[in-house]
Amino acid sequence: QKEVEQDPGPLSVPEGAIVSLNCTYSNSAFQYFMWYRQYSRKGPELLMYTYSSGNKEDGRFTAQVDKSSKYISLFIRDSQPSDSATYLCATQYNFNKFYFGSGTKLNVKP
Amino acid sequence: GAVVSQHPSWVICKSGTSVKIECRSLDFQATTMFWYRQFPKQSLMLMATSNEGSKATYEQGVEKDKFLINHASLTLSTLTVTSAHPEDSSFYICSATFDRASSGNTIYFGEGSWLTVV
């Protein structure tokens, strides 16, 4: 079993829709969770960084962590064509060990 | 957020030559730097982890003599692809992390470097 599992998509939504991106993880000891956005031919860009269960909001983005079910989510409200990218979830374990999901490709249609 | 700069963004080299890619943390001291390789439409593949002043730790299957990593300072790491071949053509991404005191680390990525070996 991989440490972090993520549906690769692609996910296609109309502009203005609410997008839900999800990952599951295997180790209950994972404490820190991150979401990255990667545009084509670019390095990943950090979007959200969370610790512990609950929600964290930043503009149109909300990161949610449910440690009881080992489930992490990223919600995007009022999605825009510029949100079209690949979204990677990640977790940090044991100081410098990071595990990444395979990425979900999102396409927001105008 | 923290900035990681990677150079060059694009490089084309002849088969058999060596290519060096630089990764710099611009506004923080990176305790650890990572090098990834990414094939088209695939996820990140960790190649090696390096700490300043120490030898890099390579992932299984990554040739250390092929991919030389030097972490000379807390703000600079270099990846040298030696005797490059067309199969080494790929997108190489560096990243860096620093200790956020009591709240754990996060990882910041460079812009990536596209290597084409002809």
**Using omega within 30 degrees of 0 as the cis cutoff, is the peptide bond preceding A81 cis?**
no
* Contact between A109 and A13 (Cβ < 8 Å): yes
B54-101 confidence digits (pLDDT tens): 889 999 999 999 999 998 888 999 999 999 999 999 999 999 987 665
Query: Are A7 and A20 spatial neighbours (Cβ–Cβ below 8 Å)?
Result: no
Query: Shortest CA distance to B71 belongs to which of B118, B25, B111?
Result: B25
Residue among B57, B94, B96 nearest B74 (CA): B96
Q: List residues of chain B with CB under 8 Å from any CB of chain A.
A: 1, 4, 6, 31-32, 34, 42-44, 49, 91, 93, 95, 97, 99, 103-112, 114
Rounded Cα distance, A49 and A97, in Å = 15
Interface of A with B in 44-103 (CB under 8 A): 44-46, 49, 51, 88, 90, 92, 95-96, 98, 100-103
Q: How high is the pLDDT of residue B39? A: 87
Nearest by CB to residue A102, choosing from B1, B43, B108, is B43
A34 DSSP 8-state letter = E
Residue A29 vs residue A21, higher pLDDT:
A21
Specify the pLDDT at position B99: 67
Beta partners for residue A48, in sequence order: A35
Q: Among A34, A88, A101, whose Cβ lies nearest the Cβ of B106?
A: A34
Q: CA B110 to CA B23: how far, in whole Å?
A: 7
